[in-house]
Structure 1
Amino acid sequence: MSYRLVEIPELNEPDLIVGWPGIGSVGILAVDTLRRQLEADYAGEIEPEPFFYPNGVVIKNGVLEELNFPTSRFYYKRLPQRDLVMFIGEEQPAETGSTYASGGKAFMMANLVVDVAQKLGCRHIFTSGAAVSAIHHNYTPGVWVVATEKTLLAEIELKRSGSYLSEHQGKGTQANITGLNGLLIGVAARRGIPGACLMGEVPDYLARAPLPYPSASRSVLEILSRFYDLQLNCSDLEEMRRQTLEMAEQFFNQFPDEIKAKISQRAQTRVEAEGGEAITEDDKQWMAEHIEDLFRPGWNNDDRAA
């Protein structure tokens, strides 16, 4: 199990920013947009065979030439202030039957990423993902920030200047960071590299829907842009956001009227602050059980009523 670097670039106090698939594809959309906007250079990748099954084959003239695997690639970009290294993994390694990265493969993957970060001299490691929250899809998502050191957390908070704050982080609930987004910064901290995870909010009723949620990716990317003083053109991400919100609205309109009314209170008033009627646990359970059904072809109002 190893990695291959095509070069070891001379970098100025770089940070590593990581994106993997997850709920709403929040992290991978944010980091891949950053990579494309900065026109980052390819640096190398982690060997896929120990972690993944092939996801396709390459055939030319009737001859199978090679197997395709999910990629786990490093990129870098030299910048005026400090340089950036980006890691984009097309898939998280998971044990059989697990939705998120877990077990020995995930731990080995995290350590390999940190190996490269140390080889390239990275000072911090940032991961990004989704925070499932009681928000409306017309909200601008806030960003939850969890860091391994208070000084890094304070630095991030100073740079974002009160913008993209979440109303739900720290409201007396205990949360965890699933998959490699949390594991990686934990492994990095044990090896002396401070880290943080930036989690863009995704509405709870869309968390299991097979949709990207670029609104949350945009919020995460805005925090990163401020932290590194970057000027990015996110028009492609903005267009994807517009299209996804149209799909989210169509999906939302399939809910029973009583559920729609309760969710809509989020857009009209802050439920907790105004004393509005919050969504009950039964309502949340109904949504969780029917998310996948709502996207299945042929599922209609008659089915819902039944």
Structure 2
Amino acid sequence: MAERLHDPWLVAVWPGMGTVAMGAGYYLMAKLGMHLWEELPARDLFEVDHVDVKDGLIQTAPLPRSRLFLWKDPNEKHDLIVFIGEAQPPAKSAQICHQLIDLVRPLGVTRVFTFAAMATGLRPGEHGRVFGAAIDRGTLDRFRDLDLTVLEGGQINGLNGVLLGVAAESGMQGGCLLGEMPQLFSQLPYPKASLAVLEFFATLAGIKIDLTELESHAQDVEDKLETFLSRIEQAIHQVEGAGESAIPALDADEEDEKKKPKLSAEDRQHLEQLFTEAKADRARAYFLKQELDRLKVFRDFEDRFLDLFKK
């Protein structure tokens, strides 16, 4: 990379509970208009463990991709490198973390952060906290100055923790930010936790991020979960010892992806229009992702979506 970076920070996200980390990572990338910088070779990190079958024909399954995106701070305070991994490798966790740290360290990266979720007894509608654990004492003191809830004990599983261990061995600073979400809905996307993580991170890094779209999306999901939880509690109170038939089902847009309908011509035309808008203005990309998620076709369009961020 020929261009000089200003005190760059690395943020790394992988899929996890509540899609908290990925939701925050994609939003950060989209709203800051980042561009693709580098990609780690998939075959060095993953092995083919299955094939896909479509219309009776076997097709080689694509390997998960691991890409880095760059944003240059116009105020020259903290440039950001965001790493988005489509999957966590079942093995070679330390290898990918060492590879990532070795890649960004020559750029002047000294701070590394990962995002994750913390499932608790939180109820939808209640204020969610952001928990934090730091690599170094200085970052921990800064967390406390900003009233972050410090994670006093426990474990940080997966690459969210392994990367920070490798960063610590390399003498870097940073830590993990964990957005609180309801344990009851841990298998569903919970954008309110992504919002809380990004609000704290923006303050920590001293950067401005337009969070309007994420705030709206988070409130919409929160309202649906509050309604659903209320229906469950009413059913339990009304029918003592009731079986599954008495418990209301989630809305259609929360059903398993395998039940998704094929895209209509109108939906395709709508998506094409959103892709055109996002290509002209990357800040519109998050709205496009919301629609892809709503239609449950993001995986089908993921490469094309991320191509919007090529320089």
Give the TM-score normalised by the residue count of structure 2.
0.68
- Aligned residue number for residue 301 of structure 1: 246
Q: Deviations over 1:7-48 (max 9, x none)?
A: 454212211011111011111111221111111121111111
Number of the residue aligned with 2:13: 19
The answer to whether 1:93 aligns with 2:89 is yes
SS at match of 1:233: coil
User: 2: CA distance between counterparts of 1:22 and 1:225?
Assistant: 21
Quickly say closer, same or farther: Cα 1:74–1:8, change in 2 above 3 A: farther
Pairing of 1:139-158 with structure 2 (within 5 A): 139-158=126-145
Counterpart residue number, 2:119: 132
Unaligned runs of 5+ in 2: 238-242, 250-311
Instruction: Give me the whole-angstrom Cα distance separating, in 1, the residues matched to 2:28 and 2:63.
Output: 23
1:52 Cα deviation from its structure 2 partner: 5.0
Is residue 2:46 matched to residue 1:51?
Answer: yes
In the other structure, the counterpart of 2:212 is 235
Whole-angstrom distance in 2 between the partners of 1:241 and 1:52: 36
The yes-or-no answer on 1:175 pairing with 2:179 is no
Matched residue SS, 2:216: helix
Q: How much does 1:249 deviate?
A: 2.2
State the alpha-carbon separation in 2 of the partners of residues 88 and 302 from structure 1. 37
8 A Cα contact 2:116 2:179, kept in partner: yes
Q: In the alignment, residue 92 of structure 1 is paired with which amino acid?
A: Q
C-alpha contact 2:34 2:71 (8 A) present in aligned 1: yes
What secondary structure sits across from 1:232 in the alignment? coil
2:62 alignment counterpart: 68
Identity %: 28
SS at match of 1:88: strand
Aligned ranges 1:100-139 → 2 under 5 Å: 104-139=91-126
Cα distance in 2 for partners of 1:252, 1:17 equals 34
Q: Distance in 2 between matches of 1:235 and 1:216?
A: 15
Q: Is the 8 A contact 1:55 1:69 kept in 2?
A: no
Secondary structure of the corresponding residue to residue 232 of structure 2: coil
Distance 1:47 1:254 in 2: 47
CA contact (8 A) 1:19 1:29 kept: no
1:76 counterpart letter in structure 2: L
**CA positional deviation for 1:169:** 4.7
User: Are 2:231 and 2:248, in contact at CA under 8 Å, matched by a contact in 1?
Assistant: no
Go from structure 1 to structure 2 and tell me whether the alpha carbon gap of 1:107 and 1:249 turns closer, same or farther (over 3 Å shift): same
3-state DSSP of counterpart to 1:11: coil
Shift in CA distance, 258/302, structure 1 to aligned 2, threshold 3 Å: closer
8 Å contact from structure 1 (residues 52, 70) kept in 2? no
- Counterpart Cα distance in 2 of 1:255 and 1:175: 31
- Are the aligned partners of 2:232 and 2:247 in contact in 1 as well (CA < 8 Å)? no
Residue identity matched to 2:218: R
Say how many residue pairs are matched: 238
- Give the structure with the larger helix fraction: 2
Give, in whole Å, the separation in 2 of the partners of 1:303 and 1:85.
Answer: 43
**Deviation of the 1:108 alpha carbon:** 1.2
Q: What amino acid is aligned across from residue 13 of structure 1 in structure 2? A: D
Q: Distance in 2 between matches of 1:302 and 1:152?
A: 45
- Computed over aligned residues only, the root mean square deviation of the Cα atoms, in angstroms, reads 3.0
- Counterparts of 1:46 and 1:83 in 2: how far apart (Å)? 20
Equivalent pair of 1:145/1:196 in contact (CA under 8 Å): yes
| Aligned-partner Cα distance in 2 for 1:303–1:200 | 27
Match of 1:284 in 2: none
Corresponding letter in the other structure for 2:213: D
For residues 248 and 126 of structure 2, what CA distance do their matches in structure 1 show? 30
Q: 1:137 to 1:51 in 2, by over 3 A?
A: same
Q: Deviations over 1:83-106 (max 9, x none)?
A: 111111111112xxxxxxxxx421
Offset at residue 140 of structure 1 (A): 2.5
Any idea what SS the aligned residue of 1:255 has?
Answer: helix
Query: Is the 2:47–2:63 contact (alpha carbons within 8 Å) kept by the matching residues of 1?
Result: yes
